Amino acid sequence: MNKFWPIFFMFWPILAIVSFVIAPSMNWWFPGPAMSPLGQQIDNLFYLILVIVAVTFVGTHVAMGYALWRGVDNKGQKAWFSHGSHNLEILWSIAPAGVLMFISLYQLDVWMEFRVKSHFPEGTTPVAEVTARQFEWRIRYPAPGKKLMTTPQADDLYSVNDLHVPYGRPVSIRLRSMDVQHAFFIPELRVKQDAVPGTVIPVWFEASKPGEYDLACAELCGWGHYKMRGRILAENETGFERYMETLQAEQNFDGVTQPEHSGAQIAEYGIEDSQ
């Protein structure tokens, strides 16, 4: 019975460690591997911090468990009174401060690359303006072959909830909000950025593989927050260009002139009226 409390207190940290160890295999971990170079760097930072924290956590708990366990039997022995020890105070102030300083300096490059426009990777192309609104993502692309302008242009192309981007190179969006705060979140690319009304925030990302990525709103924005599901479709250059041309044909459709490309987009809507 004497050992009950040491065992009780040690059970929880062990449970914590076990659940961390089995988490990836139980699918309690990240939403898949990072699908972008920056996402990989962010994951690496996460793992670095996880290792630091894990070593500290395990170390303190082993020490505490040992002390508890030993204390059960040595009732006669007097404890060492360490309160007020100047050396110890200095040690446990400087060591964590050093660790924190290391982390904050070490992550600075990734942070700058992610958030500071002048440090965006070279060749980052603005592909679209994404305007969050309750409860959807409205997207404005420049016409094929043109640059994205800061104000709407007559030949801009529009879409909603469905952002197409080329993969394998960095692209950026102009993130805006029409009403309240939203957050542009692509879990698989490890991109999360609040959309703030009144500001335009550039966000860049790069999908390393073609495919569909979820786009979610990560800021509770109202009762329909859960409805703000979108998707990022990363395609190769030809696929992306064809999509833009299809979108252009769709958007200029006058009911008479047949669109040159009757591609995926029009078929997907199932909405073309004249056969």
Partner 1 sequence: MNRSITIILLCAALPLVGCDSTRAPSFQLSEQSEGLSSFAREKVQGELNAGFGSPADLVVWSELEVDFGQYSGNVKKVSTKAGMLRIGEQSDDDETATDDKEPVYDGLAAVSGLASARRLSELQGAAVVISRAQPKSAAEAESDDGEESAAVTQTPQVYRVASYDVAKQELHVVDADGDPAQMDVSAGDSVQILGSALQHGRNLYLRHCMHCHGVSGDGAGPTAQYFKVKPRDYRHGIIKFTSTKASVLKPSNKDIFRIIKLGVPGTYMPSFMLLPDDEVKLITEYVRWLAMRGEMERKLNAWLVTSYSQEAVDEADSASELQADFDTEWSEDAGDNIERFGNDLKLDWQDADKPESVVNPTVPRTPSSSESIVRGRKIFLSKEAKCASCHGETARGNGPSTEAFNDLPGKPPGTKSDKPGLFDNWGNIVKPRNLTTGVFRGGRRPIDIYRRIHSGIKGTPMQAFGTTLKEEQIWDVVNYVLSIPFEEKQGGH
> Which positions touch partner 1 (CB under 8 A)?
134-136, 138, 152-154, 158, 160-162, 223-224, 227, 229-231, 250-257, 268-271, 273-274
* Shortest Å, Cβ 239 to partner 1: 18
Closer by beta carbon to partner 1, 9 or else 253:
253
Closer by beta carbon to partner 1, 40 or else 251:
251
What is the side-by-side order of every strand in the sheet holding 191-195? 162-166, 230-235, 211-217, 182-186, 191-195
Residue 231 β-bridge partners: 162, 214
**CB distance 235 to 172 below 8 Å:** no
Closer by beta carbon to partner 1, 117 or else 229:
229
Q: β-pairing, 157-160 with 171-177?
A: unpaired
* Shortest Å, Cβ 156 to partner 1: 9
Closer by beta carbon to partner 1, 145 or else 270:
270
**Residue 211: C-alpha distances to residues 116, 233, 249 (Å):** 27, 6, 24
* Shortest Å, Cβ 136 to partner 1: 4
* Shortest Å, Cβ 275 to partner 1: 8
* Shortest Å, Cβ 67 to partner 1: 41
**Residue 269: C-alpha distances to residues 14, 159, 185, 262 (Å):** 53, 12, 25, 12
d(CA 152, CA 128): 11
* Shortest Å, Cβ 152 to partner 1: 6
- DSSP code for 257: S
Closer by beta carbon to partner 1, 159 or else 172:
159
Closer by beta carbon to partner 1, 169 or else 231:
231
Verify cis geometry, omega within 30 degrees of 0, for the bond prior to 135. yes
